[in-house]
Amino acid sequence: MDCKYFQEQLSWYIDGYIEEDEKQKLEQHLQQCALCAQELEEMKLALKSLRELPEVELPPGFRQEITKKLKEEHKKIYGSKPFIKRKIMKRHWLSWGATAAVVVFMLIAANIFRMFNMGSQSQTASNDLAEAQPNQEVMQLEKADTPVLDQEASITAQEEIKSSTDLAEVPEEKTSDGEQGTFQIMAVPDNMRESEAVVEVVSDLSVDIEVDQIQKAIQVLEEIVEKYNIQDFHIQIKGENSSGSSEATVYLTLPEDIVQKFLDAISTHYKLVNMRTNSFRAEDEKQEKNPSNLKLHLKNST
């Protein structure tokens, strides 16, 4: 065996990736051959200079940039999240009169609803009154401090609502800034038509979510709720039977600035299919810090 054969083995010998008998032969050769012994020493020295290269630090802003790019990538892959957008509104869906009528109707309906349920458990708001049928089986896991409807009514009264429930949603529509699938809440009074900019403040939001298993979905939601440290949270489960529940409604109140994040988190698990909202025109930016009431309606997709 010549030196070339042994020298090829030096690299594996350094790493210990060599069979025992080959190792013995090599070591024997190294004792006799100064050239190969020198080759080994030089190799070790050279590799030392390589291994001593320091780890370089990340450049400033690297993390922020990658986070931003990943978010954009996420949107490209999964589409943007259906959530209210404060935007410049150039079109209208409901006239001011119709909007006002809906608000009045809601206030009346809310009061009637409360009268009928006086003394019963705390009831929660529903834009879809069918859900508030008295014959529904209600399992209230946790009671909200403030019934959503009360809060809704008070906001309605105080803030002189300019738009209301059942506002149109425009899913999958490409918006001016290029985001796709954003739900836009459009309700502009006559005197606001063609106005340059209206800031929408979301007070109540109702979202339908398609899930495969209600119980599993509730667990997922509970995890997310826990993550965002949301205290005001309760669940109603409808139609529970031996084969499991078919529907559930989750009510929660959370700071408005985390609503988007919260919905993003849910949308990584489930499809958000429908969205309705109460929103009002903000005269005062401080109103944006109001808590938002969310109603999540879980529906079995099968």
Q: Is 50 in the site for another protein (CB under 8 A)?
A: yes
Please report whether residue 70 would count as binding another protein according to CB under 8 A: yes
Question: What Å distances lie between residue 91 and 88, 189, 190, 194, 203, CA to CA?
Answer: 9, 10, 10, 7, 21
* Residue selected from 24, 31, 67, 154 as contacting another protein according to rule CB under 8 A: 67
Sequence-distant (6+) residues with CB within 8 A of 112 are: none
Buried b (16+ CB within 10 A) or exposed e, 42-55: eeeeeeeeeeeeee
Q: Is 78 in the site for another protein (CB under 8 A)?
A: yes
Going along 111-265, which residue ranges are E strands? Answer: 200-211, 233-238, 247-255
Helices 259-267 + 214-227 axis angle, to 10: 140
Confirm or reject binding of residue 25 to another protein (CB under 8 A).
no
Q: C-beta of 183: minimal distance to another protein in Å?
A: 19
Shortest reach from residue 46's CB to another protein, in Å: 4
**Where in the chain does DSSP place strands (E)?**
200-211, 233-238, 247-255, 271-281, 291-300
State yes or no: residue 269 binds another protein (CB under 8 A): yes
- Is the CB of 58 or the CB of 130 nearer to another protein? 58
Out of 111, 268, 283, 289, which residue is the one contacting another protein (CB under 8 A)?
A: 268
- Binds another protein by CB under 8 A, chosen from 1, 21, 34, 54: 54
34 near another protein, rule: CB under 8 A: no
Binding to another protein (CB under 8 A): which residues in 127-186?
Answer: none
Nearer to another protein, 11 or 158 (CB): 11
Q: Which of 34, 56, 115, 118 binds another protein (CB under 8 A)?
A: 56
For residue 291, count other CB atoms closer than 10 A to its CB: 17
Surface-to-core class of residue 221, CB atoms within 10 Å of its CB (0-12 exposed, 13-18 middle, 19+ buried): buried
**CB of residue 177 vs another protein: minimum separation in angstroms?**
20
Q: Interacting stretch for another protein, rule CB under 8 A, among 38-46, 152-160, 188-196, 282-290?
A: 38-46
Question: Smaller CB distance to another protein: residue 13 or 93?
Answer: 13
| Tokens 């949107």 found at | 75
- The size of the interface with another protein (CB under 8 A), counted in residues, is 40
Is the separation of the CB atoms in 141 and 235 below 8 Å?
A: yes
Packed helices 20-32 and 34-51: angle between N→C axes, nearest 10 degrees: 110
Pick 75 or 85: Cβ nearer another protein: 75
* 186 backbone dihedrals φ, ψ, rounded to 5°: -120, 115
Nearest of 216, 200, 214, 208 to residue 278 by alpha carbon: 200
Q: Does the footprint of another protein cover residue 55 (CB under 8 A)? A: yes
Q: Select from 1, 58, 115, 130 the one that contacts another protein (CB under 8 A).
A: 58
Residues that bind another protein (CB under 8 A): 7-12, 15, 17, 42-43, 45-47, 49-59, 62-63, 65-67, 69-71, 73-74, 77-78, 265, 267-269
